[in-house]
Structure 1
Amino acid sequence: MSALWLRRTAARFLLPVLLGACGEGTGGPTSPVPADDEVPRSLPAGFSSLPTHQGNPLTPEGVSLGRWLFYSPSLSSTGQVSCATCHPQARAFADETPLTQHGVSGRPLARHTPALINLAWVGELFWDGGVKNLESLSLAPLTHPDELGQADLSALLERLASQPEAVRRFEAAFGPDGLNLSNLLRALAQFQRTLVSADSRYDRWRRGEPGGVLSTQEQEGFALVQRHCVSCHGSELFTDNAFHNNGLDAQFGSGTEVTRGRGRVTQNAADDGLYKTPTLRNVTRSAPYMHDGRFATLDQVLEHYRHGMVASATLDPFFQRSPVSPGLNLEDREKVAILAFLEALTDESFLTDSRLGPPEAE
């Protein structure tokens, strides 16, 4: 979706009803994880609390409503597509196709569906950072003609108001007059903040917990990731939440063309070809890879960094190896070790936890 389209959508729908109600930015104070069955109990090493939006604190009822909405096909214009259609839990809330055609139009999207992992710590969202916080994140897929296709949000709210279960859930979360667009977006944001992945073998190893065992090869792979990948995949989140040009293409689009990357949001040529760093957590389950899903396997990804990177004006300096071609110096054995370590970042509880899956009838 284009940055221009996002700005027009925000101006038409979001600014009047959302910004005043939900506060500004991603910040707000961090709050302890609420003690209820709807939120994660494990956090990455070194983290003691789950960030929350100042105007949208987590509540059990709000998270429950957001979960119900996330899995409800009622949000789509056809009544057949939900957020989870393109974000299935078993694939780390990513999609298995490079450019999904699972939306209401059946047309392929312009970019690969990103995984939804540890979004509570993410600032600018989407591959190009076109959205600033989780409270506004869902507006774009809701209204995009190839995703959920809700051109008329008033009709969506009327449809929800005709469903007793929807009314009950909104009232429980936000009070008697709670069924409105602002609260719909708030609830989805609350649920997505609870999509915390921090219980892989690596996490248990870092925290010294039972089951936290890494083989010698996996520990070597971890050391190699720290040496070669930390400039983009640093911290316990395994992402810097920033934007980089990692040598995929030599030429980029102009204006608001999708191939411009971050540059089409900032309209700064220095940002052309830069894309959001995805987390490495659950990366073995979230194939395909890159903003356009061009790589089917992690082996292909590492081969790109070894031998396939191309130079351009905005290539991240970390990859430049003048006078030779850009890339990383990885031996075959080191590549195998990195692949082994990446498997240790798989969090089976995140992929299977029923609290993050479709809600049962209540």
Structure 2
Amino acid sequence: MSMSKNNKVLHFGFLLLANLMFSCQKETIETVDPEDNTPYVMEVPANFPKPAAMQDNPLTKAGVELGRHLFYEPLLSSTMTVSCASCHHQDRAFSDGLILSNLGISGKALDRHSPALFNLAWANNGLFWDGGSKNLESQAFGPLTHEDEMGIYFPEMVDRLMAKPLYVGLFKEAFGENPTAAGVVRALAQFQRTIISANSKYDRYKRKEGQVSFSEDERLGMQLVQSKCGGCHSTDLFTDNNYHNNGIDTDFSDDSKDWVYKGRYRISYDIKDLGAYKTPSLRNVMVSAPYMHDGRFATIDEVLKHYRSGIKNTIYTDRLLFQANGNPGIALSDREVKAIKAFLISLTDEKLLSEAKYANPK
């Protein structure tokens, strides 16, 4: 969820509370919650690193299922018309295809592009484009309460859920209690951590599953991505979960109350982070256009053109984007661009885009 106009005054208390409630990170995968609910065993792909599980919010089958229902539930918005899924569509790798979404309760366009949602169990360095939230639990408070997104008043949300026998039962099964705001964000986080993208052609090729083979273009593209893009799009997650100024702007002045145009600097107050945004995964990139934190590039060709010849040289532009001769940009021939695009297609996970366990349960 995009939480594009982060209001520090309105949300600070919610985010602080959530960070305190859910700050304990331990490296484990299978755990059982205090209600002895059946644990949800996350199947970690063989070519992925081990995720750090949230010990204070262990995955359970009931918690994940509750979270799936809530993800698609418009009762969580003040107008009862907007759900998390309004801006995160499964067939687009849980992105929305819009430059800046205007699907929230106000109808106003947000300031940041709705990101794709998958492999969030490995997102261990902050969420939102600027890392303004520590974990999925605290992240959920942002769009739920934001005036342009879902704008919910928590007591009203709880009353609505209490009026639905379905949710009373699901909350009892998941957490042994009636619906609460804390339970909502815990369940949403559990469901989102189970959304895993690891069944693309590339994954089957990498794991030597079946008789999958790569074309000459795909093999060359894979090598080029590793050598020329791997500084940011690293490991088989194809992201370093870090923040980079990728040379799309030269002006970082911002008189808005929330500094949404200053990038990671808004959070870190480190001048090196001015204009830096989180590295999105290259997985499913061919089905999750448009691109960048503000959706400014409509096609992957525009993105590649930017990295070839459009990078703006500022003191904040990441040095990974400079050639050995000091010139900005990644040297790529037309042939190499063609190969990279062929490889990026191999990163599309068709199973993720249609798998029933991620779909609307209603």
Asked if the contact 2:31–2:58 (Cα under 8 Å) also holds between the matched residues in 1, the reply is no
Matched, 1:78 2:79: yes
Amino acid at match of 2:249: D
> What is residue 29 of structure 1 aligned with on the other side?
27
Asked if the contact 1:231–1:318 (Cα under 8 Å) also holds between the matched residues in 2, the reply is yes
**Among residues 113, 130, 133, which one is paired with 2:132 in the alignment?**
130
Matched, 1:157 2:132: no
Asked if the contact 1:81–1:103 (Cα under 8 Å) also holds between the matched residues in 2, the reply is yes
- 1:40: Cα distance to partner? 6.1
CA deviation digits over 1:26-77, x for unaligned, max 9? Answer: x22221499x997764625144x55320101100000000000000111111
List aligned pairs for 1:172-321, cutoff 5 A.
Answer: 172-175=173-176, 177-254=177-254, 256-321=258-323
Matched, 1:328 2:330: yes
- 1:102: Cα distance to partner? 0.9
| Alignment partners' CA distance in 1, 2:324 and 2:224 | 22
From the superposition, tell whether residues 281 and 192 of structure 1 become closer, same or farther in structure 2 (CA, over 3 Å).
same
From the superposition, tell whether residues 30 and 279 of structure 1 become closer, same or farther in structure 2 (CA, over 3 Å).
same
- 1:153: Cα distance to partner? 1.2
Amino acid at match of 1:208: K
| Alignment partners' CA distance in 2, 1:305 and 1:2 | 25
From the superposition, tell whether residues 103 and 222 of structure 1 become closer, same or farther in structure 2 (CA, over 3 Å).
same
> What is residue 58 of structure 1 aligned with on the other side?
59
From the superposition, tell whether residues 40 and 297 of structure 1 become closer, same or farther in structure 2 (CA, over 3 Å).
farther
Provide the secondary structure at the position in 1 that maps to 2:54. Answer: coil
- 1:292: Cα distance to partner? 0.4
CA deviation digits over 1:245-295, x for unaligned, max 9? Answer: 111001113474211001111122221010000000000000000000000
| Alignment partners' CA distance in 2, 1:80 and 1:44 | 40
Q: How many percent of aligned residue pairs carry the same amino acid?
A: 47
- 1:21: Cα distance to partner? 3.9
TM-score, normalising length: structure 2: 0.92
List aligned pairs for 1:65-144, cutoff 5 A.
Answer: 65-123=66-124, 124-144=126-146
Provide the secondary structure at the position in 2 that maps to 1:61. Answer: helix
Amino acid at match of 1:330: L
CA deviation digits over 1:103-127, x for unaligned, max 9? Answer: 1111100000000010000020010
TM-score, normalising length: structure 1: 0.92
Asked if the contact 1:262–1:274 (Cα under 8 Å) also holds between the matched residues in 2, the reply is yes
- 1:211: Cα distance to partner? 5.0
> What is residue 353 of structure 1 aligned with on the other side?
355
| Alignment partners' CA distance in 1, 2:31 and 2:43 | 8
- 1:133: Cα distance to partner? 0.5
Amino acid at match of 1:80: T
Provide the secondary structure at the position in 1 that maps to 2:296. Answer: coil
Asked if the contact 1:203–1:212 (Cα under 8 Å) also holds between the matched residues in 2, the reply is no
Amino acid at match of 1:267: Y
| Alignment partners' CA distance in 1, 2:4 and 2:11 | 11
- 1:15: Cα distance to partner? 3.9
Provide the secondary structure at the position in 1 that maps to 2:232. Answer: helix
| Alignment partners' CA distance in 2, 1:225 and 1:111 | 26
Asked if the contact 2:100–2:295 (Cα under 8 Å) also holds between the matched residues in 1, the reply is yes
Give the unaligned 5+ runs of structure 2: 33-37
